[in-house]
Amino acid sequence: MNILIINSGSSSIKYQLWRYPERKLLVKGLVERIGLDNAVITHKSDPVYRHEIKINDHIHGIRIILEALTDPEHGVLGSLSEIHAAGHRVVHGGEQFTDSVLITPDVLDTIDNMSSLAPLHNPPNAAGIRAVMQNMPSIPNIAVFDTAFHQSMPQEAFLYAIPIKYYKEDMIRKYGFHGTSYRYLTKKTADILGNKPEDVNGVFCHLGNGSSICAVKNGKSVETTMGFTPLAGLVMGTRSGDIDPGVLFHMIRSGIVSNTSDLDTLLNKKSGLLSIYEKSSDMRDIEDNLTTDENAKLAFRMFTHRIRLYISAYLSLTGPDSTIVFSGGIGENSPLVRDAVLCDLQHMGIKINKALNEKLPRGQWGTISDADSKVKVLVIPTDEESQIAEDTYNIVAEL
Ligand code: AMP
């Protein structure tokens, strides 16, 4: 069975084609700048095929992807009939979806309704689904939700301490994100430890441009740092993470910002690492300038300080046999961040091994704690797309 994986954003579509049950990635690629005259498809065949073309909308974008996949020169398929199913990343599933599902008209309606909670993400996700349905009407489509894994959080974790009617009537609560990554990492951790996923306890750190942490108890999410939106929690590339809401009232009342839209832009796009280092939001740039630039040093310290706080807090939920897992672009690739986050925590049973941490080969999982560390520390490259392919295969195989 060949499965097309689609991750559509407002002006881009990332795609992968997988063959099952072999679990083989056949090809991947990316369409960017949808809606502009100089849109481009980068189809990562060998050699890479790159083509600039005007792409009007997502339906057109999907058609260009399907043409690349079946192109006689750089395609990997003879015809579209060789695609048997599509799996879609959907950011917000609200409380309705606790697992991945076959997309029916009702499911698509619900994804549309969730757009009020994720206005930047769900509309392009739904557009990608509709585009696949229009271009290939006969194949099943599966939705895999970023929020689903966190639906196991208990009420005391997901409710905000505001009048309960705002939860009951307006769906205001903590949802959490990066759930597909955490589900993949939980299963992979179980494989590595020789456990069942339901026996995994740990603190999982997905540290990238967007960053969050998840406490997993008995294989289930019990707490996470992102909230109603992906703005809460850790210091991120351009997002502030946690901030006293009183600061926001003050900024509006005193005219520091003129409206909520400016405030939204300030906290989501102009804050985080970028606002402290000022020259870039990219952790590589910050690390390159740590010894010479005071702002780079401060941004690094603020980033790692907050991660330390959350890891310590979450270990109180996950128990004595916890594992700490680092993942995401920063978590997988930055020994400096991992060391700053976990150094000098012997009193909490955490002994990071500096040599293992520094020498861990890129792109592979590995252990970076001492053999006698009570808390094991792992680095695991995440793979959300393979998890989407896996879910799609499992659901479609049962149809
Ligand atoms: P992601 O959003 O998961 O793709 O992660 C992007 C972040 O990972 C950016 O801040 C990058 O600077 C960071 N990153 C990637 N490679 C490295 C590296 N070798 N060292 C430090 N940070 C890295």
Q: What distance in angstroms lies between residue 105's CA and the mean position of ligand 1's atoms?
A: 38
Q: Which of 364, 347, 371 is nearest to 355 (CA)?
A: 371
User: Which pLDDT score, from 0 to 100, does residue 118 have?
Assistant: 87
Among 284, 303, 383, 385, the mutation site with the greatest number of ligand 1 atoms within 8 A of its Cβ is: 284
pLDDT recorded at residue 162: 98
Distance (Å) from CA 283 to ligand 1 centroid: 6
Instruction: Judge residue 362's burial from the number of C-beta atoms within 10 Å of its C-beta, 0-12 exposed, 13-18 middle, 19 or more buried.
Output: exposed
pLDDT recorded at residue 10: 83
What pLDDT, on a 0 to 100 scale, did the predictor assign at position 300? 98
- CA neighbor of 392 nearest in space, from 99, 172, 57: 99
Among 6, 28, 180, 184, CA closest to 86: 6
What per-residue confidence (pLDDT) applies to 9?
87
CATH topology for the 196-379 domain:
Nucleotidyltransferase; domain 5 (3.30.420)
Alpha helices in the chain (DSSP H): 58-70, 105-113, 122-135, 155-158, 165-170, 179-193, 245-253, 260-269, 272-277, 283-288, 294-318, 328-333, 335-342, 354-359, 384-397
**Residue 362 Cα: closest atom of ligand 1:** 19
Per-residue pLDDT of the chain (399 residues; tens, 9 = 90+): 999 999 998 889 999 999 999 999 999 999 999 998 899 999 999 999 999 999 999 999 999 999 999 999 999 999 999 999 999 999 999 999 999 999 999 999 999 999 988 888 899 999 999 999 999 999 999 999 999 999 999 999 999 999 999 999 999 999 999 999 999 999 999 999 999 999 999 999 999 999 999 999 999 999 999 999 999 999 999 999 999 999 999 999 999 999 999 999 999 999 999 999 999 999 999 999 999 999 999 999 999 999 999 999 999 999 989 999 999 999 999 999 999 999 999 999 999 999 999 999 999 999 999 999 999 999 999 999 999 999 999 999 999
Residues with CB under 6 A from ligand 1: 208-209, 237, 282-284, 287, 328-330, 333-334
Residue for token pair 């690094």 = 300
Q: What pTM, to 2 d.p., does this model score? A: 0.94
pLDDT at site 119: 85
Q: Which residues pair with 213 in a beta bridge?
A: 205
pLDDT reported for residue 117: 87
In whole angstroms, what is the distance from residue 186 CA to residue 382 CA?
10
37 given a catalytic annotation: no
| Residues in contact with 67: Cβ distance below 8 Å, sequence separation at least 6, in sequence order | none
Q: Are 132 and 158 in contact (CB under 8 A)?
A: no
Of residues 273, 278, 337, the one with CA closest to residue 311: 337
Radius of gyration over every alpha carbon of the chain, rounded to an integer in angstroms: 22
Superfamily for 2-145?
Answer: ATPase, nucleotide binding domain (3.30.420.40)
Q: Residues of CATH 3.30.420.40 domain(s) within the chain?
A: 2-145, 196-379
pLDDT at 272: 97
